[in-house]
Structure 1
């Protein structure tokens, strides 16, 4: 009898110990709150590395975690230990089927009828649908129409076996503990990329503000901007040539422009500008449209007067602006073109600038558009040019198409004949490209394009425009003499 009593005492002690451990774990668990939003990195973890194949399950596991660890009404009421049946009864409505089949639509309030899109895009999550879809498409390579079909599927319109498998996966991934044929919430979440619900507002703002970037770069910045396990892994390095001595002045100008753009109507301004081309100071009255970061500096795109007084538009480099004064629309000094467009309520917008830049390569969008024909060495082109994006109008063409364009577009007979002679000495197997560029003459050209062409030398040959070709020939001859001597 003594032995039996001792055995019972040991069993009782072990049971008490286990109950104490579980109680301590549950007390710790009560402090855990799951606020993560389903960004690509988290879904990749929940999909166990196969997000393209497991996207719906990964999203469903995210909803599971909200039901288990949320800090609001999304968290279902469960005992300290629970089974699948306990969770099912707490999560779904009482009329939800308990069989093995995929549940039919039976109750308008049952969570099993909600589509994937409804779980993702709502006021509680704060997820911006377009930005989220863009990041998923970029990461997984899923076709847009296929993703749309997935979003319209009922996320929990699956079999009991699938939901039971979800529980098992959560336990395998460390989100639950399975013991004694029951599931327990954990007291420490497993490592994962974190984007908390508290960060949603900042994420939405960031997603909106990233619209000023190239859409592909914006997508990269958006889903890499958050730290992963506390470590920043994405960095953007840009050359910025503004000297430190003028940084404060540039920031002051940017602040003043923001204040001006907040006014209704936006007022005109008078600039005192240090023109590198004129090598002098000049006063210009303009309407400020927008600012661009282009090739190592920030520019104000403005309409009204240019430094040379030859154009209605000009890109003013901010660190060259020496002063800026706000004017009234009643000021008698306003140029006629500016006053006329103000009275017609037809002042230009940033959309106009974007449209003009899409028509031809170059930031100086106010210069005339001209056809440029280029020849690349085939091996160089295949390695560094083919498959890259330079501009909407930049495309490879055939040798015969180059000949046709020279005959059609070059109106000066001597230039046309000279180019055709040059072309006849070039190999048809080389790579030929056409692109429209912003170019007027040697003095009025987009220097960023010139710098790009120089970077490609000697693997590129400019065929047209003719005077740009000639200027390159002079530069190369001068350079040769310098190094030859």
Structure 2
């Protein structure tokens, strides 16, 4: 029988973190420990747990019997309330990895991890499992996402362990230098054209493109070897070359800040299209996205309405020549941000990802609302069925709609209005439901794209908005 036997090397931990070890170090350590518990020779929980197990089954095997069970406990309460010194919640990262990295010293291992993370400081005395139950639940979801566990098809929140032949395989460890010598001339040209099309998303790809271009153009019979381009990538990117250069500079500045210790905050002038005004923004940058038409910075601080919280900023609407970097301790940094930094509680990429999973919509900080759509059957078969919009967006039988509304809509007036609409619709039509961020422009644009074959039943607010838009549009053709 084969057991999980991967050591906590920088490469394995980065693999478990999906290439983002700097953002997910603690989670990566927890995942590695969990995999040792599920499939390792010493613990082998896969043999002890029921075939289909839930979090409670897992919790009873994983934690000490004296470990706090309440979901309401905070991390600090978990740390202080568990009396069992042998519980895994009491184990530091150093204790969890020390035996597995022998004969390498902890100090050597720590330095290799730091090098992998771009020099970031890691605290190996912290206890990764001294956290709330929701975090560990999310770790199980993450293992399922990675393919180490299989979600139950019949019971929500239940899993079963994977047989060894279904385990994900780690990638081969790559050298730091990207070697293209094994590529043929034709392969080099094909890769070059693809990378040139995508390099605007990640400016660092330009270096790869330059390297590949240099290698390709040094080959003999250059003109003869270049194949005719037959595959084209058309991305909906709306920026001019000049604006793109400016956006790339912002992107580069932000990435450089993330690799500097202890990081900091950025200040810039921002053009708010809604009010047609320039605003000064001071925020903590968390991550970057390419969404539908442009690049966005997800950041935490005072938003464009002066409220303290999350906001997505389009990089092309930054009007400053360059970003101003404010190091921690600068008097311009909002007090709330400084306090979060001092307490080690700055917002994380993991939080953003978790919120994005909860509802369809890039603006994850907007209200979460129930979406119900009706489609003509032929339209649904051609344009909706078999597509992926969001993991919560899925088909539903007409007979189940009323029950869904009664369960999820708390407002009596809205609930009754929706029930009346559903009652007046045909059971033969196609219906979908999911969760959306109400007010997210990208979701709204998709709902508009489905007109007139797609009808928004819920939320009522969007239904009424689209109805008004349709009436205004119709008036244009009088």
Aligned to 1:195: 183
Q: Cα offset for 1:339?
A: 1.4
CA distance in 2, matches of 1:236, 1:338: 41
Q: Secondary structure at the match of 1:312?
A: strand
Question: 1:322 pairs with 313, 316, 319, which one?
Answer: 319
Aligned to 1:482: 476
Q: Secondary structure at the match of 2:465?
A: helix
- What are the equivalent positions in structure 2 for 1:280-299 lying under 5 Å apart? 280-299=277-296
Q: Cα offset for 1:251?
A: 2.1
Q: Cα offset for 1:449?
A: 0.7
Q: Cα offset for 1:248?
A: 2.6
Question: 1:454 pairs with 436, 448, 455, which one?
Answer: 448
CA distance in 2, matches of 1:252, 1:389: 33
CA distance in 2, matches of 1:384, 1:250: 34
Aligned to 2:417: 418
Establish whether residue 350 from structure 1 lines up as the match of residue 349 from structure 2: yes
- How does the TM-score come out when normalised to structure 2? 0.52
Aligned to 1:434: 433
Aligned to 2:378: 379
Aligned to 1:464: 458
CA distance in 2, matches of 1:385, 1:240: 24
Q: Secondary structure at the match of 2:327?
A: coil
Bigger fraction of residues in helix: 1
Q: Cα offset for 1:283?
A: 1.1
CA distance in 1, matches of 2:458, 2:386: 23
Establish whether residue 279 from structure 1 lines up as the match of residue 270 from structure 2: no
- What are the equivalent positions in structure 2 for 1:75-474 lying under 5 Å apart? 195=183, 231=227, 234-323=231-320, 324-439=323-438, 445-474=439-468
CA distance in 2, matches of 1:234, 1:343: 51
CA distance in 2, matches of 1:405, 1:479: 32
Q: Secondary structure at the match of 1:268?
A: strand
1:24-67 CA-to-partner distances (Å, cap 9, x unmatched) read xxxxxxxxxxxxxxxxxxxxxxxxxxxxxxxxxxxxxxxxxxxx
Structure 2 unaligned spans of 5+: 1-146, 148-161, 170-181, 202-214, 217-224
CA distance in 1, matches of 2:288, 2:469: 32
- How does the TM-score come out when normalised to structure 1? 0.52
CA distance in 2, matches of 1:272, 1:245: 18
Q: Secondary structure at the match of 1:463?
A: strand
CA distance in 2, matches of 1:475, 1:276: 20
Q: Secondary structure at the match of 2:370?
A: strand
CA distance in 1, matches of 2:395, 2:401: 10
1:213-270 CA-to-partner distances (Å, cap 9, x unmatched) read 9xxxxxxxxxxxx99x753654422011113342232122122222212211111111
1:137-156 CA-to-partner distances (Å, cap 9, x unmatched) read xxxxxxx979779x9xxxxx
Whether contact under 8 Å (2:366, 2:437) holds in the other structure is: yes
Whether contact under 8 Å (2:371, 2:458) holds in the other structure is: yes
Q: Cα offset for 1:311?
A: 4.4
**Runs of 4+ residues deviating >6 angstroms:** 144-149
CA distance in 2, matches of 1:311, 1:375: 37
CA distance in 1, matches of 2:413, 2:345: 44
CA distance in 2, matches of 1:148, 1:307: 48
CA distance in 1, matches of 2:304, 2:380: 39
Whether contact under 8 Å (2:263, 2:327) holds in the other structure is: no
CA distance in 2, matches of 1:230, 1:411: 63
Larger radius of gyration: 1
CA distance in 1, matches of 2:248, 2:472: 40
CA distance in 2, matches of 1:475, 1:327: 44
CA distance in 1, matches of 2:464, 2:271: 30
CA distance in 2, matches of 1:336, 1:438: 29
1:267-315 CA-to-partner distances (Å, cap 9, x unmatched) read 1111211111232111121111121111111111111111112341111
Q: Cα offset for 1:466?
A: 0.8
Equivalenced residues, count: 276
Q: Secondary structure at the match of 1:271?
A: strand
CA distance in 2, matches of 1:311, 1:334: 13
Q: Secondary structure at the match of 1:322?
A: coil
Q: Secondary structure at the match of 1:379?
A: helix
1:68-122 CA-to-partner distances (Å, cap 9, x unmatched) read xxxxxxxxxxxxxxxxxxxxxxxxxxxxxxxxxxxxxxxxxxxxxxxxxxxxxxx
Aligned to 1:48: none
CA distance in 1, matches of 2:231, 2:318: 33
Larger deviation: 411-420 or 379-388?
A: 411-420
CA distance in 2, matches of 1:274, 1:425: 45
